[in-house]
Structure formats: structure tokens, C-alpha cells
Amino acid sequence: MNQAELKYREATPEDIKDIMFIEDNSFEQGIREEEDVFLERIITFPNGFLLLEYKNKVIGYICSEIWEYQENIDLLDLKLGHSIKTIHDPAGEELYISSMGVLPEFRRKGLGELMFESLSNKLLKTYPKIKSILLIVSKNWLSAQRIYRKNGFREVATIPNFFQPLNLEHQDGIVMRSRVR
């Protein structure tokens, strides 16, 4: 893979088809976000929605929100399909990573981790008040968990059966947090 052909950029509403293609190839039916949810994220916080391109083709996405910091997280805030508009606060102290995905043929090359680091470094610089990063991951998503643990995330809660894919076994959600300053 020619590293010089890799590029990051902010998402725009015109990218929605590419984002949905990655979503459909990354998550099972029943736990995918809807198009409208992604569009609202792009419009509300374009700075927090990054795409990774290889040879000008979109191969990955990562998106985020900024929340007011709460030591004890309201588990309802983590729900799939929640509206970014009602919770996003650029003056907040917590960065919430709402999702990320890389097309299957581009996985296990370090790109997921690069994408994660690129977004968090950029936002930590732009929003100096952020002191913590939060996310929820299925107990089955081992690659994602490995990236987060390597980057200092620790488990803070488990939500039984949080992920409920269609016609498949439910999966516990692991809430992870990293204190960044």
C-alpha cells in the first residue's frame, strides 16, 4: 500500500453513500446507524467527522461528538440512533467517539488506529477543554478493543445485551474511557 495515496478529510453530506457502504460492511443488520443519523452528525459537527481515502476512494470513517463531562455516564446517551443535536456541546470536556469503520479489504494494516489517532489528536488541539474520551464497543469487536486498550482506554461499565443484531445473539456493550489530560 502506497502511504502517499492516503488522505484524511472532513465528511460532507455528499459522502453519505460511501459512508453507508462502509457501515453496511462493518456492522450487522439491526445495529447499523441510519443515513439520517450520519447526516445530522456531519451537519452538526463536521470537524468531528473524518474520512480516510485511498487513491481518492473513501475507505474509512470515524465520527464523534463533544459532551458535557459526567463522571457517571447516563447510559441512555449511548443509545444507537441518539440525536447528536440534543447533546453536542463544543464547550464540553468529553469527546465521544460515536463510530468508526474501515472497508474489510483495508483492515489490519494499521489504518483504523491511524484514523482514530488522527481524529483525536486534531480535536484535542482544537478543543483544549476536552479531558476525556468515551466510547462503547461490543465485546465481540476485538480489533476495535485492541486499538482502544493500546491507546489507554479502560473499561468503566458493561451494558448487558446493548447490541441487538437482527436474528443474531445479543452482545454486551463495553463502555471505555481514557483520561487524556
Q: Note the residues at the interface with ligand COA (CB under 6 A).
A: 26, 99-102, 107-113, 135, 137, 141-144, 146-147
- Of 48 and 101, the one with the shorter C-beta distance to ligand COA is 101
Closest approach, Cβ 30 to ligand COA, in A, equals 14
Q: Which 8-state DSSP code applies to residue 38?
A: H
Q: What share of the chain is helix, strand, coil (3-state, %, to 5)?
A: 35, 30, 30
Helices (H), 27-141: 35-44, 84-87, 111-126
CB of 83 to ligand COA, least distance (A): 19
Which residue number is nearest to ligand COA in terms of Cβ? 112
- Of 129 and 158, nearer to ligand COA (C-beta) is 158
- As measured in angstroms, the least distance from the Cβ of 88 to ligand COA is 19
Q: CB of residue 109 vs ligand COA: minimum separation in angstroms?
A: 5
Q: Which is nearer to ligand COA, 34 or 129 (CB)?
A: 34
- Residue with Cβ nearer ligand COA (25 or 129): 25
Report in angstroms how near the CB of residue 128 gets to ligand COA at its nearest: 25
* CA-based nearest residue to 42, from 11, 69, 14: 11
Q: Which is nearer to ligand COA, 107 or 131 (CB)?
A: 107
Instruction: Note the helical H segments in the chain.
Output: 16-26, 35-44, 84-87, 111-126, 142-150
- Our measurement of the distance from residue 99's CA atom to the centroid of its chain's CA atoms, rounded to an integer in Å, reads 2
- Give residues with Cβ within 8 angstroms of 63, minimum separation 6: 11, 38, 41, 42, 48, 49, 50, 97, 98, 99, 100
